[in-house]
Amino acid sequence: MKNLNKSIIKCKKCPRLVQFRNKISKEKRKQYMNEDYWGKPVTGFGDINGKMLFVGLAPAAHGATRTGRVFTGDKSSDFLYKCLFKAKISNQDTSNNLNDGLKLNNAFITLALKCVPPGDKPNVEELNNCSNFFNHEINNLKNLGIIIALGKIAFDTCFYFYKKNFNLNKRLIFGHGKIYNLPNNIKLVGCYHPSPRNVNTGRINQKKMVSLFKKIKKLN
Ligand code: SF4
């Protein structure tokens, strides 16, 4: 995984995204003006021997693009880690920066796209470019059994990835808590994204999320 991560961090394959991540890191958000933004692609994080793989869509502009670690330093990660901690998948209920001591238990977390896209909307070419890294990550996770897709776009990305690489010929529909069987004995689980919008509208709450995470832990 170390060599893979080195290649990810150096990648400049998508001109639009390289330009955007540089722009964000230079302009910065007011409250982080004194910080040096990471400003590069964001790699996966966690236990490479883990059974569970959490997949988000892309780094947040002022979260992972600033801190350099997936789901770190923004409101989505605040909510996600409260839930992961309650389900005993993480050793703490916060994810603030690279040196905060965070560890995942039997789980790895990554992004379908390693660079932040404008408006959180990647194009097909960018997703295709980055799918090679996602492929390598999956191959490096030798004990992988369950993929938890955080949000519909991450779910569809995982689905298209398997469709392309394994000739999957059925349509999988995203739904919170829906579980599908994928090739190689892997299960794909749909889960609402832990975004402030989903939390504030009540679509997702800690109880619902923790209950799904606890259920996932028991899957074989
Ligand atoms: S999105 Fe992926 S392929 Fe595109 S520049 Fe970033 S790391 Fe490279």
**pLDDT per position as a tens digit, 71-96:** 999 999 999 999 999 999 999 999 99
In the predicted structure, residue 165 carries a pLDDT above the cut 90? no
Regarding the beta carbon of 137 and ligand 1, being less than 6 Å apart is answered no
Phi/psi for 72 (5° steps) reads -140, 125
- Please work out whether the CB of residue 130 comes within 6 Å of at least one atom of ligand 1: yes
Residue 177 pLDDT: 97
The percent of residues above 70 in pLDDT, for the chain, comes to 100
> Hey, what CATH topology would domain 2-218 get?
Uracil-DNA Glycosylase, subunit E (3.40.470)
Which residue among 20, 70, 115 is best mutated to probe the pocket of ligand 1, counting the most ligand atoms within 8 A of its Cβ?
A: 115
121-133 residue pLDDT tens = 899 999 999 999 9
Q: 75-78: long-range contacts at Cβ-Cβ below 8 A with a sequence spacing of 24 or more?
A: 75/195, 75/196, 75/199, 76/193, 76/194, 76/195, 76/196, 77/194
Using the predicted structure, report yes or no on whether residue 164 has a pLDDT greater than 90: no
Check residue 148 and give its pLDDT. 98
pLDDT of residue 1: 85
Share of the chain above pLDDT 90, in %: 85
The confidence score (pLDDT) of residue 2 equals 87
Average pLDDT over residues 52-65: 96
Mean pLDDT of the chain: 94
Residue 154's pLDDT band (boundaries 50, 70, 90)? Answer: very high
Residue 129 in contact with ligand 1 by CB distance below 6 A: yes
| Model confidence at 173: pLDDT above 80 | yes
Q: Is 36 exposed, middle or buried (0-12, 13-18, 19+ CB in 10 A)?
A: exposed
Return the pLDDT at 93.
Answer: 98
Which pLDDT score, from 0 to 100, does residue 212 have? 97
The predicted structure's pLDDT at residue 157 = 85
- Residue 52 Cα to ligand 1 middle (Å): 24
User: Using a 6 Å cutoff on CB, does residue 156 contact ligand 1?
Assistant: no
Distance from residue 218's CA to the centre of ligand 1 (Å)? 34
